[in-house]
Amino acid sequence: MGALAVEAIGLSKTYGAVTALREGHFQLRPGEVHILLGSNGSGKSTLCKLIAGSIRPSSGELSLFGTPTNLSGPNDARARGIGVFYQELSLSPHLSVAENILLGAEPLTRWGTVDRSALRHRARDLIALFGSAAGPGLTPDAPVSRLSFDQKQIVEILKVFSSNPRVIILDEATSSLDRTQVTILFERLRALKAQGVAIILITHRMEEIFEIGDRVTIVRDGLSVATLEIAATDKNEIVHHMVGARIEGSIQRRLRPEPSLETALTLDGLQGPALAPLSVTLRRGEILGLGGLHGQGQSDLLLTLFGAQGTQAGRITIAGQRFRPTSPRAALKAGIAYISGDRRRVGVFAGRPVFENLTLSILLKTGARRVRPGLLRTLLEPILNRLKLKAPSLAVPIQSLSGGNQQKAVIGRWLTTKPKVLLLDDPTKGIDIQSKNDLYAMLDSLCAEGVGIILYSSEDSELLGNADRVLVFNSGQVTEELSGARLTEFDLYQAALKAA
């Protein structure tokens, strides 16, 4: 068999107080396709970037081809025969396809200039691998910025192949590819495998794991928890390892009265650029959960409803009235509130006092021309008590509060508008447990008042603990609806990994 292509022993990476990878143990044999599997933020991409030399380990040891190695950077890794497909792509938008594919290993003429015709020829040969599946416009001279996303992924793949690496890392290389393109890629991978090339593949598509994988390593919470032979395992065992030793049903569901029979919101064939047609009814006092892997269309749905992203077709009805989501302002007037966990970008107005942060929405909704602080204060008081917002005073700048209290202020801002529908986009990202519990209690009382809530959460326990039912998303499509006894982590993972 020879030496291992890659061996990671107790590899860890921390960013300040955040641990991205705790104790990465990983072995890659020459001539195998090794799947890395884990939920978002589990540490897969971190492990790959460590092997690629684009970040440096905080501790632990990395061996390449049997030799302990300290990579000085991506060029070092590349020189040692490691080729990486980056999930976020490593393409230069203004360069052509050919230039991108061969960047860093440009063929030269004897004058020392870049050999354009050789560049073009080699790129053409590589593009030919994908034949007609590459789609129109994928030519050596086309600027990368004008390609579709799947074509960019193909260029990134060809860029990896062009350097004839001995180790290939593909981090979600198939996420935008269609079936034909994936088949071509896998054929190529099998050929490379036969030549002894070692391949790491990150994918969330369960059927791909069994189609191409030899072994699978499951990463959870920054730890590599298990390595299994694909031939000797099945889907259930894999999902069990992803969920971990947590006992089924251990998630405490919050006790809430049954939602009312009145409708809060109806979607009828709502469709957007990243969203397949969706029809669903949200009842008053109901919490509808959105699940699935990160970025499968959940936020797109919420932003579309909030008027921040265009629709292509479909009808939205709120409390019996048709609503056209033309802008967030229209949504605000129609009784929709949107709260994101990405506070710094879309939530708080940093540098401004808490008071201003709290009163923006109500001022916009009522269209008041004059700010009357006294009146606003009496309006805010009950809401602040309910939220248990802790602030030395409402005059302090909002960023001086803790993350949890900042988020409470953002929620308070929206509660002043008395919303009929509340959209929560991963609302508790990065806030402490106490604040989380305060927020859940808040949701209880909003449900009792008959507000309809749509909740997307990247935390499974939050989703399962709060939602009455969960729509599981994959590639912009709802693949499954979970409710009742099927609201378990196991079912959630299984649905999330199901092909769209």
Partner 1 sequence: MILYRRPWVAALAVTLLLLLANLAVQPSLFKPAIMLSNLSSWLPLILVAMGQTYVVLSGDIDLSIGAIISLVNVSVVSLIGAFGGGDGALLLAIVCGFAIGIGAGAINGVFVAALRLQPIVTTFGTGILFAGLALAIMPDAGGTVPDRVFETYAGPLLGVPVILWILSLAVLFVIALGRTRFGLRALAVGGDAQAAFQTGLPVTRVRILNYGLAGGFAALAALCLIGETATGDPLLGGSYTLSSISALVLGGTALSGGTGGAIGSLFGAMSLGIINNVIFFARLPFELQSLIQGIIVLAALAVGTLVARR
In the complex, minimum distance from the CB of residue 121 to partner 1, in angstroms, rounded to a whole number: 17
Given 2, 66, 73, 382, the residue binding partner 1 (CB under 8 A): 73
- For partner 1, the closer of residues 167 and 230 by Cβ is 167
Report how far residue 197's alpha carbon sits from residue 29's, in angstroms, rounded to the nearest whole number: 9
- The answer to the question of residue 52 lying near partner 1 (CB under 8 A) is yes
Stretch 460-479: interaction string toward partner 1, x if CB under 8 A: --------------------
What minimum distance in Å lies between the beta carbon of 78 and partner 1?
A: 4
Nearer to partner 1, 21 or 89 (CB): 89
Q: How far is CA 267 from CA 42, 158, 282, 305, in A?
A: 34, 42, 8, 9
Nearest CB to partner 1, comparing residues 148 and 312: 148
Smallest gap from residue 88 Cβ to partner 1 (A)? 8
Which alpha helices (H) appear in 309-402, and where do they start and end? 328-334, 354-366, 373-387
117 is a contact residue toward partner 1 (CB under 8 A): no
Residues 98 and 39 sit within 8 Å (Cβ to Cβ): no
Name the residue with tokens 């070692």: 198
Smallest gap from Cβ 45 to partner 1, in A, equals 12
How many amino acids of this chain bind partner 1 (CB under 8 A)?
A: 28
Q: What is the Cα–Cα distance from 124 to 359, expressed in whole angstroms? A: 59
Helix (H/G/I), strand (E/B), else coil: 465: helix
Complex with partner 1: residue 25 or 80, whichever CB lies closer? 80
Distances in Å between the Cα of 289 and the Cα atoms of 40, 406, 414, 467 are 18, 23, 20, 5
Binding mask 77-116 for partner 1 (x = CB under 8 A): xxx----x-x--xxxxxxxx--x---xx-x-x---xxx--
Least spacing, CB of residue 138 vs partner 1, in Å = 15
CA 345 to CA 88: how far, in whole Å?
Answer: 20
| Exposed e or buried b per residue across 280-291, where buried means at least 16 C-beta atoms within 10 angstroms of its C-beta | bebbbbbbbbbb
Distance CA 386, CA 428 (A): 17
Q: Is 54 in the site for partner 1 (CB under 8 A)?
A: yes
How far apart are alpha carbons 419 and 453 in whole angstroms?
10
Query: Residue 177 corresponds to which tokens in the numbers above?
Result: 């590819």
Q: Quick one: which segment of 73-81, 251-259, 293-301, 465-473 binds partner 1 (CB under 8 A)? A: 73-81
CB of 147 to partner 1, least distance (A): 13
Residues 144-173 that bind partner 1 (CB under 8 A): 159
Residue 143 interacting with partner 1 (CB under 8 A) = yes
Q: How far is the CB of 310 from partner 1 (least distance, A)?
A: 23
Q: To the nearest whole angstrom, how small is the minimum distance from the Cβ of residue 86 to partner 1?
A: 6
Q: Is 286 in the site for partner 1 (CB under 8 A)?
A: no
Tokens 């001022």 correspond to what residue? 363
Nearer to partner 1, 126 or 492 (CB): 126
- Judged by CB, which is closer to partner 1: 44, or 78? 78
- Residue pair 428/436 in contact (Cβ under 8 Å)? The answer is yes
Helix axes 354-366, 403-415, angle to 10 degrees: 20
CA distances from 8 to 4, 25, 223, 451 (A): 10, 5, 12, 50
Q: How far is CA 273 from CA 148, 291, 297, 336, 477, in A?
A: 14, 19, 10, 21, 12
Minimum CB separation of residue 165 from partner 1 in Å reads: 12
Q: Which stretch binds partner 1 (CB under 8 A): 28-36, 68-76, 205-213, 299-307?
A: 68-76
Residues that bind partner 1 (CB under 8 A): 52, 54, 73-75, 77-79, 84, 86, 89-96, 99, 103-104, 106, 108, 112-114, 143, 159
